[in-house]
Structure 1
Amino acid sequence: MQVKYLLLLILPFFWSCTDNDDVYQNIPLAFEVPPNFPALAYDLANNPPTEKGFELGKKLFYDGRLSSDGLVSCGFCHIQQNAFTHHGHTVSHGVDNAVGTRNTQPIQNLAYQTTFMYDGATNHLDLQPVIPFTNPVEMNGNFTKAIAMMKADPEYQKLFKIAFADGEINSENMLKALGQFMVMLTSSNSRFDKYRRHESGGTLTNEELDGYVIFNAKCSSCHATDLFTDNSFRNNGLPVNLAVNDVGRYRVTQLTSDYYKFKVPSLRNIEKTAPYMHDGRFFTLEAVLEHYNSGVVASETLDPILYKNGTLGIALTEIEKIKLIAFLKTLTDNQYLTDKRFSEY
C-alpha cells in the first residue's frame, strides 16, 4: 500500500485585485492522490486548481446560457447523483431536444486519464469541453457569444479577474476554469476503497469478496487498477447498430484496426450510471454480464480476450453473475454523489 500524500500546488499565495476597496485572495487547492490510485496523468503545474478557478469552473459547468437555447449546460447531461451521467437516457439529449448517438459518460477521476470521449477525440482534459460545447446536438455553443455574455455579467467579471493572473475573459481561461473544476472531481471513498485502504467501514461480505475474486479472474485485464479501466480502446463484441454505424475509435485514427473500438469505461459508481455501453443499449448490470456470457459477436477487430480457444465471450454462471454484481455495488461512492462542493446548489 502506498503512503498517503498530498500534492501541494506551488504558486503565489494569492493574486489580488481591488474592487470596491476589497482585496480578494485566490488560494491554491491541495490535490489529494488516494493511496490506492495510480499516478496522475494530468499536469497540475500547467493549470493548478485554485479556489476561485474551481468556483468559476463550477459556475460555467452549470450555466445553461453557454448553449444556443440558453438552457442546456454541462450539468444538464451530467447529473451528480448519477456520477455525472444522464441517468435513464439511452443517448444524450441536447439543445432543442436534439438527440445524439452516444450515452453520456460519467465524470470522475479524469485527472488520471490520458484520453477522453468514447473514441478518444481529445487527449487533454482542458480541451475536452470544446467537443460538447460546439456540438450542434449537444450545447451548440459559440465562443464569441459566450465570451460576450460573460463580459456583460458582473459575477463572471469578478471571478475571471481573481481566478487568473491576467484576469482576461477569454476562451483559454474559460477552458482552464472548467479543467480545474473537472480535475477535482475525484471519486475515491466507496466501500471498496475503504476495504483496500483498511479503513473503517471497509468490510466486504463473503459474497462481495467472492465477486472480487471472480472480477480479478475474468474482468480486471480491461478494467484495471483501482480506477477500473486501463484507458484502452477495445471492441467488446457488441452487435453493430447499422442505423447509426458508430465506428468508434476509427473515426479519430482512420485505422481499420480501430473499427468499433470504444474506450474501456471505469466501473466506479456503475450501480448509478445505467444505461450501459456507448449507445446505452443495456439497462441493467445483469444484461451487461449476459452480453459477455452469450452475446459477443465475432468481428475482425474483436478484442482477443473475448475469443479464446475457439470460444466467444466470458463464461459466467448465474451464481458468478450475482456475486459479480454484489462486488460492483461496493464501488458506489455515496460521498462523491452527494458532495456539495460539486453540486449546482
Structure 2
Amino acid sequence: MTILVTGGAGFIGSNFVLDWLADPAAEPVVNLDALTYAGNRANLASLDGDARHHFVHGDIGDRALVDQLLASHRPRAIVHFAAESHVDRSIHGPGAFMKTNVEGTFTLLEAARAYWGTLEGEAKAAFRFHHVSTDEVYGSLKPSDPPFAETHPYEPNSPYSASKAASDHLVRAWHHTYGLPVLTTNCSNNYGPYHFPEKLIPLMIVNALAGKPLPVYGDGQQIRDWLYVKDHCSGIRAVLAGGRLGETYNIGGWNEKANLDIVQTVCALLDELRPDPAGPYSRLITYVTDRPGHDRRYAIDARKIERELGWRPAETFETGIRKTVQWYLDHPDWVADVQSGAYQAWVGTHYGAR
C-alpha cells in the first residue's frame, strides 16, 4: 500500500509528506512533482535514504507517466496538491494556471478513474482521490458577512482562483458522473516552514532581514484567515481518513487578520529574536499600489470538519507565527538557495513598478 502525492516538493505538499512519514506506521509515499520554481527538493532533504519516499520528477499532465505510476505502485489514495498558486503570477501569466490547475487536474482525474476501474473488492472501496483547494474560489466577503461555509457560491475573482474553481468543479463532476470516490478540502491562507518567499509572510521575513522595503498593498487592510501549515496537514489526514465521499470540507485557522497586522507582527517578532541595530523593522514598511481585483476579505467557517471529524487547529496564530519566524532564522541556507536569479527578477519586475 502506498499513497500518491502530487506537488509534494512544494510548500504545503512537502510539509504534508514530511508530516505523513513522521509516523513510522504510515504507508510509503510516491511523490510526483514537476519542480517548477516553487518546487524544491531541498524541502525533502531529511527523507534522503528513506525507502518509504519515492520521488518522481514529472508533470501531472503527463498521462503516460501517471498511468505508469498508478499501475506500478497501486496507491490506495491520491492526494492532489500540485497547482500554480500565486495570484500575482496568475495576473501576469494566466496560461500556466489553466494548464496545471485545470488541464492537469483533468488528466489526473482521468488516470485515477481508469486505475480505480481496475481495482476490486476492498481495494476499490478504500480508494480515495483527495483534491486540495483554496478558500479563494468563494470570492470576497464584506466586513459584516459570515465566513465562507462549504455551501457558499463560487465567485472567483482572479485567474488563479478561477482555475482552482474549475478544478473543484471537475472533481465534483467526476464523482457525480463516474462515481469516483473523491474528497475536496478548501483551506485558508497557509503559513509555516518551507514557504516560498513570494507570499506575504516569508517575503516580509526575508526582506526585513535583508534591510529591504516591506511592500504592503494598498492600505494593508485586506483580511485573511491564517492556517499554520502543519494544522492544514492534520486536517487533510482527518478528511482522508473519515470524510464522506463527494463532500467538501473547509479547513481554517479561526484567525482573521489584516495584512498590515501580519506585517507588524512579523516585525515585532524579528525585533525580539534578531534585533536590527538600525532600528525597528517596521521602519521598512512601504505602501505600494494595490493589485488588480484584490479581494478584500476571506474567512473560513470550519465547523463542518470539527462537527463530523473532530478536527480543530492545534496552533493559535501567535504560536504558529513565532514558530514560522524562528524557522526562517534557523534556516538561512534554505532561504539563500531559493532566492535565485529568477526569483530576484520576479520581485524586481513585480514590485519595482509599484
Same fold (TM over 0.5): no
Instruction: Give the TM-score of the pair, scaled to structure 2.
Output: 0.27
Instruction: Give the TM-score of the pair, scaled to structure 1.
Output: 0.27
**More strand by proportion, 1 or 2?**
2
Higher RCO, Cα 8 Å, sep 6+ = 1
**More helix by proportion, 1 or 2?**
2
